[in-house]
Structure 1
Amino acid sequence: MPVMIRALISVVMLAGFYVLALVQLIAGLAFAIWIGSVTSGVIAAKFGIAVFLATVWAVGYGTWKALRTKRPEPNGLPLPRTTAPYLWAMVDHLAAVVGTRPPDEIYLVPDVNAAVEERSKLMGLIAGRRYMYIGMPLLQAFTVAQLRSVLAHELGHYSGRHTRLAGVTYRGRMALERTISHIGSGNVAGWIFRGYGRLYVMVHNAVSRRQELEADLASVQVAGRDAAASALRESKALSAAFAFYLNRYVGPGLEAGYAPADLFAGFGELLRARADEIAELRTDQPDGEQSVWDTHPPLGIRLAAITAAPESAVPVDNRPAWVLIPAPDRAGIALQQRILNAEKLTVLPWDQFTAAAASARLQENMDGLLRTVSRAVNQPVPHVGAVLDHIAAGRLDDIAAPIFPEATRRESRKLFAKPLTALLSLAAVRSGAARWQHSWTGATRLVGPDGTELDLSDIAELAVDPATIEEARRQLAQRGIDVAAATHVEQRATARRAEIYAGILNMKVNKKRSDVLILSHGLLLVPSVAKLKAMTARRRMAQWIESGDPRPLATTEGNRFIAYEDIAVAQVVSKFPVKYELTLHNGEKVEIRWSTESEEQANGSEVLAQALRAANND
């Protein structure tokens, strides 16, 4: 079926959604009139208002919000024509070949992606300003031919005016999602709307998949089959490599408040150092299974379609894609400055950045361990030296038991040597007796002054035995390791690395209305909004869950974070309504119970139950 017909069907189905709302309204009002004829007018009026809110109001509000939604401003580095004339010349040529107008602006962005976006008006019916986004990693890893292929694909979406209707369906989908989100889960109208919405999404996605295949043909037309196919494979491998790079090398440092001096140069180093591993990613068998919920065809289907397409006799340009912009190194640094808040980050050369990140991560882990030790001995443990003092005083069983609850006493003593090794490693770093060694091909290593790997596990094994702990102290001193240098910094658990899993609105926490966010590391309690602002409450909860980052909320005055590690016992004291009683290690009791107003999001009740069961097991 031609893509235009599919898109037209999608638009017709969008109109059908509003017809469905009208039909429900008419049916509901007719039912209300009938009720009025057999009961009092007050009951009929209440029913009519409920029907109106469930249909016309919900649909109208969702559509209004979709029409008013403004897309965020481009987050990237603008590349005007005067700055990147060669890139613009290529883009102009590609647009002419695929039969569409070129973008009005081009932005360099920090993603393994390229895209063309049009800020259309009136739900996509009126064309608007057009933007092209090119990922810096693509310029670093692609050839010119591969980049031509990818950009032709994105411009190809706008040839034949396909996306004029796609703009309508895109905005329409937003309206549907917003409409459905404002209808309660128990509303009968909501059941009908959700079913229709799923059907609409299936049709919409079918249009999207077909458009992707047609845009791939534009890639072949301007770059040839080999370039088009290799660009798809390279994109997949590059996405995996960039995600690994951010998670392994960049993320820990950013979370600790540091930034590398040159973010994208580091990625270039990784590509060169791990070239063999990335080459293996390119040869992975492409996925060929397709779902009705996919917006893009699987890679296997796309590659097969490209192979079957007529070949295009175009010269192959194997120059690196970065030749299309002047001074790519400076462009990478300028892009980094735009996407990272340099004012709040300490910028360091890569070796120092890696060392600072590794020390911060180790410190955070050791702070958690020292908090556990402090609870076990019922007094503050200011540094690693104090841990050794407690072991020497015969408190090792008390210390190790909460860390290894399923082990016997003898087993837990031996097992404690491993976390103690980490504590001693932190002391070595803080004493200047060890340093972190950066590597693009492997993990960061802890090395001594001579550059050889530092392993303190033998000393830790001596330290967990009261009979040899003094020998452990002697060897530590001989290596220049001051055990008091590794101090306890974060003495209370925070939500710094936590993620938001789910939430429940309007629970009663110690008899006060509170929204409860269930995090990976604990519970976050936020005072509920006024009862008359139910939509506002649902919307802000959805935004919190979507963001996944609880840190701003956790540090807001009036909110409270309860770490799972601070919970001694969590028990269900009532099943209807559900009521939990948390007993914290400091003896405080916190009661959390459902109320008649409570409403979960993202399976909040189940996630909360699982989290508290896990807290008990810990």
Structure 2
Amino acid sequence: MSTSAGAVGAVGETTQPCPQCGAEIRADGRFTVWCAGCDWNVDPGQPVAEHGKLERRRRRLTRRHGERLLGEVAAGETLRPRRDAAGIAAHLLALAVHGVTVALAVGAVWFLVTGWGGAGVVLGVFLAVLAWTLRPRFSELPDDRPLLGRADAPALFGLIDEVAAVVGTRGVDTVAVSAELNASVTTYGIRGRRLLTLGLPLWEILTPQERIAVLGHELGHYSNGDTRHGLIIGNALRSLSIWRYFVAPTPDPTLVEAFVNLVYLVPRSLLQGLLALLDRLTLRATQRAEYLADSMAARAGSTEAAASVMNRFLVLDSAETMLRREANAQQVGRGRRGTADREPWQGLWERLRAHMASIPETEYERQRRVAALRGHSVDATHPPTHLRRTCLLTGPPLSAAVTPDAGTESRISTELAAASRTVAQRIVKHGLAH
């Protein structure tokens, strides 16, 4: 945050001349002071450090793929799910990875049965443990957050079903409520039941129409067939990561450990190459899936609401800072109850909404420019946010297919009340990490 002095206007507002071009700057003193005319101080911070070659390569590819897909949309092409040669190759590679796991399991059984005078039993047990560690996993329901079924929240599930019908899929089986500034979908159990995770901090700062757009985006992943997070490819990526962990070099090695590091050099390079290859084969399809999910968000909630959600994601750091401040205040004793009948967590969501509503448009604009400079994205596999927003605004604007009325919003709020209270208590007591 800049602390440059200037003439003070309204509370928190300052005015000063730009030291680079001389234009008058009107800024909210809580945020970075910058010049919209010449971009002075638009990005005073340091870029977030990227850990590992794979992440750096992934971010470069996501930006390149994102620009190409944006070019397709700008040329008038309609994005559709596509099974291409890269997707087929990714599935074949993933099946080969799982084939190794199966071979280990078969080998374990063979050695355990034959025995080989006792040595085979030891080897069989080792292979069995290795195969068990590498086995494909089915996700389970989380046990650390409130869970809602259809009977618990009929209005919420009714809204989800309505949005799902618009994006061409079915609804979900369970909703998990978390303390994350995010939303996501996945499957759980051997039957592939569907789970929607709603981060209450994100849900609370969105307008009703923005919430529809978020639901449209997340449910759109089911209809678009995002294979990267599917059972076959997702578990293959996980298995390769475990293999890489097994052969990772020992830091500050002894003489023996240095020899082991040298022996593992070839398999480690091979595993790194396989991970990079599978990542590259699936990344373009993942980018396409995100753009398709964005189009579903616009179809369900309107183009305006979907683009507004992109803006929200650019300033989520401010929301996170505010929530951490609330938690820190409680931990040092400044956030204890102010009255006999009021706990520190009460009114948290109202305070969060008020904070987000107070962010000036100049800060949104600054963050949009920073996003274009840095290639901001939700994570290393998502397309750059500014490209996603541009893609949404390139085509003809769509009106909302789903518009909840005030009664529906009120019923959903009532259904989420208990979970909302639980999440607010956790944030204030333990912070966002819990």
Q: Which residue of 1 aligns with 2:287?
A: 209
1:66-215 to 2 correspondences below 5 Å = 66-68=135-137, 71=140, 73-119=142-188, 121=190, 127-163=191-227, 166-185=230-249, 186=261, 187=264, 188-215=266-293
The answer (yes or no) to whether the contact 2:187–2:194 under 8 Å persists in 1 is: yes
The structure 2 residue matched to 1:323, chosen from 389, 410, 433, is 410
In the alignment, does 2:354 pair up with 1:275? no
- Mapped to 2, the partners of 1:202 and 1:254 lie a distance apart of 45
How far residue 191 of structure 1 moved from its aligned partner, in angstroms, is 1.9
What is the CA deviation profile of residues 269-316 of structure 1, one whole-angstrom value per residue up to 9, with x for unaligned ones? Answer: 143256333644433225246599920001111011111234334368
Q: What TM-score do the two structures reach when normalised by structure 2?
A: 0.60
How far residue 170 of structure 1 moved from its aligned partner, in angstroms, is 1.1
Are the structure 2 counterparts of residues 259 and 218 from structure 1 closer, same or farther at C-alpha, using a change threshold of 3 Å? farther
The answer (yes or no) to whether the contact 2:91–2:232 under 8 Å persists in 1 is: yes
In the alignment, does 2:420 pair up with 1:332? yes
Q: Which residue of 1 aligns with 2:30?
A: none
What is the CA deviation profile of residues 59-101 of structure 1, one whole-angstrom value per residue up to 9, with x for unaligned ones? Answer: 9926743425754625332334344333221111111121212
Residue type of the alignment partner of 1:247:
R
In the alignment, does 2:319 pair up with 1:242? yes
Are the structure 2 counterparts of residues 226 and 200 from structure 1 closer, same or farther at C-alpha, using a change threshold of 3 Å? same
The structure 2 residue matched to 1:13, chosen from 93, 108, 121, is 93
The structure 2 residue matched to 1:4, chosen from 76, 83, 105, is 83
Tell me the secondary structure at the aligned position of residue 67 of structure 1: coil
CA RMSD of aligned residues (A): 4.1
How far residue 164 of structure 1 moved from its aligned partner, in angstroms, is 8.7
How far residue 253 of structure 1 moved from its aligned partner, in angstroms, is 3.2
Are the structure 2 counterparts of residues 60 and 153 from structure 1 closer, same or farther at C-alpha, using a change threshold of 3 Å? farther
How far residue 250 of structure 1 moved from its aligned partner, in angstroms, is 0.9
Structure with max Cα Rg: 1
How far residue 235 of structure 1 moved from its aligned partner, in angstroms, is 3.0
- Mapped to 2, the partners of 1:183 and 1:60 lie a distance apart of 16
Residue type of the alignment partner of 2:318:
A
Between Structure 1 and Structure 2, the one with more strand by share is: 1
Q: Which residue of 1 aligns with 2:382?
A: 296
Are the structure 2 counterparts of residues 274 and 257 from structure 1 closer, same or farther at C-alpha, using a change threshold of 3 Å? closer
Are the structure 2 counterparts of residues 322 and 250 from structure 1 closer, same or farther at C-alpha, using a change threshold of 3 Å? farther
What is the CA deviation profile of residues 469-490 of structure 1, one whole-angstrom value per residue up to 9, with x for unaligned ones? Answer: xxxxxxxxxxxxxxxxxxxxxx
Identity %: 20
Q: Which residue of 2 aligns with 1:229?
A: 307
Residue type of the alignment partner of 2:199:
G
Tell me the secondary structure at the aligned position of residue 192 of structure 2: strand
The answer (yes or no) to whether the contact 1:18–1:59 under 8 Å persists in 2 is: no
What is the CA deviation profile of residues 163-189 of structure 1, one whole-angstrom value per residue up to 9, with x for unaligned ones? Answer: 497332111111110111112432122
1:319-398 to 2 correspondences below 5 Å = 323=410, 325-327=412-414, 330-336=418-424, 339=426
Unpaired stretches in structure 1, ≥5 consecutive residues: 23-48, 122-126, 346-356, 358-547, 550-618
What is the CA deviation profile of residues 336-385 of structure 1, one whole-angstrom value per residue up to 9, with x for unaligned ones? Answer: 45x4798xx9xxxxxxxxxxx9xxxxxxxxxxxxxxxxxxxxxxxxxxxx
Residue type of the alignment partner of 2:285:
V
Tell me the secondary structure at the aligned position of residue 324 of structure 2: helix
Are the structure 2 counterparts of residues 220 and 74 from structure 1 closer, same or farther at C-alpha, using a change threshold of 3 Å? farther
Q: Which residue of 2 aligns with 1:265?
A: 347
How far residue 219 of structure 1 moved from its aligned partner, in angstroms, is 0.8
The answer (yes or no) to whether the contact 1:98–1:218 under 8 Å persists in 2 is: yes
The answer (yes or no) to whether the contact 2:226–2:285 under 8 Å persists in 1 is: no
Number of matched pairs: 309
Residue type of the alignment partner of 1:145:
Q
The answer (yes or no) to whether the contact 2:179–2:427 under 8 Å persists in 1 is: no
Q: Which residue of 1 aligns with 2:35?
A: none
Are the structure 2 counterparts of residues 204 and 263 from structure 1 closer, same or farther at C-alpha, using a change threshold of 3 Å? farther
Residue type of the alignment partner of 1:154:
E
Tell me the secondary structure at the aligned position of residue 297 of structure 1: coil
Are the structure 2 counterparts of residues 256 and 60 from structure 1 closer, same or farther at C-alpha, using a change threshold of 3 Å? farther
The answer (yes or no) to whether the contact 1:108–1:134 under 8 Å persists in 2 is: yes
- Mapped to 1, the partners of 2:383 and 2:181 lie a distance apart of 18
